[in-house]
Structure 1
Amino acid sequence: RDPERAASENSALLTWINSKDHLSSIMAEEVLLFGLWASPFSRRVEMALKLKGIQYKYFEEDITNKSPTLLKHNPIHKKIPVLVHNGKPIAESQVILEYIDETWEGHPILPKDPYERANARFWAKFIDEKYLPGIRNALSAEEKQHENAVKEACEVLKHLENEIGEKKYFGGEAIGFVDIVANIIGFWLGITEEISGTKLLTREEFPKLSNWADVFVSSSGIKENLPPRDKLIAYLRTRLGTRSTDASK
């Protein structure tokens, strides 16, 4: 998605969403997504919608000046992504992914088997609750704490290395819930490694996870929905400095 083009369309779209024409169209199937082009959390939702073949209208947010519409739809956390389906807002990327899977037919995101579904939820939660803080610490720690922070982050990656094993995707032979959540490893980790100068996901130490990342980012439905690498690096360097990993608010 071109962020400049998205931004230029945003004003007209936000005017439309509050118009009478919009209100009358609520009765029809309507899917809106409020996101940020550089956010891995927003991209999770886009990936799921594209895999399902769902048509949607996208609203690019400025996280330094969030729109009143976003704040109305997500008054608690006040952040992206937010999916609005027929006027009903859903927040938090993992919650949105489950909603998409339960609402629309097509490419399955979560497994049908109850145990496998629970396992997928476990690893998705692990990524957001353990991986993200660990990577942030490793890429932002002061020099004295840096070595220990990197070691702890690699321990987290080791668990994911063991989980992917010999599988093509975390979900087996097809992209699933954990793969989409793990986009922050498959694509964004390499970006933050380049910005910070700290290498974590090495092929020598994590060959299986590295292979998964290569397959994931080149997969149909995924590669078309990743932001331009050079533009993302420039954006993160400008906004977040050289030792941070979070691209959303």
Structure 2
Amino acid sequence: MASNGEKVKVFTFSISPFVNRVLIALEEMGVPYDSQEVDMNNKSPEFLEANPVYKKVPAIVHKGKPLSESLVILEYIHDTWSSSPSAGTTLLPKDPYDKAIARFWADFVEKKFWKAGWRTTLTEGETQEEAKQEFIDSFLLLEEALRKTSGGKPFFGGDDFGYVDIALAPFIFLWPAVEILGDFKIPFGRCPHLSAWSQLVSQRESVKKILPSAEAALEYMAGVRKQALSTSN
């Protein structure tokens, strides 16, 4: 097991894909950690001290130092533990260009892909139709990105399950809820690489250990949708 000082403390919310990115990365790297679930309606002073700016999960504390934002934390995990002899993997590629491309697609997942998926679940009418199309378009772009960056191998980084894979993996369990609440089908038939990738990633031990069930995701997102629509009407 990789170690670099004391255990990492992770402030979590179990349904959050952004939290689950961090937990999957820690599992993959063999980093010991303790998790503390955050009551999002009654945030503790300890949590707010760890993330006083955005006041959102995930946040971590390592060696007494707090850090927040999931992609920032993934890079910290890479920089801190990838050189450990017992590390299970390395998250980012060594080549500067490949590293930049990985960051680009992780950022795309963050800013484009999932925002469209989230809007699909929370809206209705014309706004929802626009969000669904944006989500499908983003899905197709990720299919092409995987085809190009994988080099015919299983993951975005080729043979290695890495940064982009971990950035995207926690959203797999949310896809059925997006389809049901959005009343449409994700075009897996047009995305053979992404379809095979999602099946492979779903069976990965770190992913199976961390991700909640699709049923739990649907229940949570249906509740958020109901609240959002009642507020907007």
TM-score, normalization by structure 1? 0.80
Do the aligned residues in 2 keep the contact of 1:187 with 1:213 (CA within 8 Å)? no
1:143 to 105, 114, 125: 125
Once residues 216 and 130 of structure 2 are traced to their aligned partners in structure 1, the CA distance between those partners, rounded to angstroms, is 31
Write the letter of the residue equivalent to 2:197. W
Distance 1:52 1:70, change over 3 A: same
Residue 225, structure 1, aligned to residue 210, structure 2:
yes
Residue 183, structure 1, aligned to residue 160, structure 2:
no
Unaligned runs of 5+ in 1: 1-26, 245-249
The aligned counterpart of 2:96 is 114
SS in 2 for 1:34: strand
Once residues 154 and 5 of structure 2 are traced to their aligned partners in structure 1, the CA distance between those partners, rounded to angstroms, is 38
Write the letter of the residue equivalent to 1:233. L
Write the letter of the residue equivalent to 1:232. A
The aligned counterpart of 1:192 is 178
CA shift, 1:199, in A, is: 3.0
Once residues 218 and 155 of structure 1 are traced to their aligned partners in structure 2, the CA distance between those partners, rounded to angstroms, is 26
Distance 1:114 1:66, change over 3 A: same
Distance 1:130 1:78, change over 3 A: same
Identity of aligned residues (%): 36
The aligned counterpart of 1:75 is 52
1:241 to 217, 225, 232: 225
TM-score, normalization by structure 2? 0.85
State the number of aligned residues: 216
SS in 2 for 1:134: helix
CA shift, 1:153, in A, is: 1.8
Do the aligned residues in 2 keep the contact of 1:201 with 1:210 (CA within 8 Å)? no
Residue 100, structure 1, aligned to residue 77, structure 2:
yes
Unaligned runs of 5+ in 2: 229-233
Taking only aligned residues, the RMSD between alpha carbons, in angstroms, comes to 2.0
Deviations 1:80-131 (A, max 9, x none): 1011101000100000000001001211011111111111000000111111
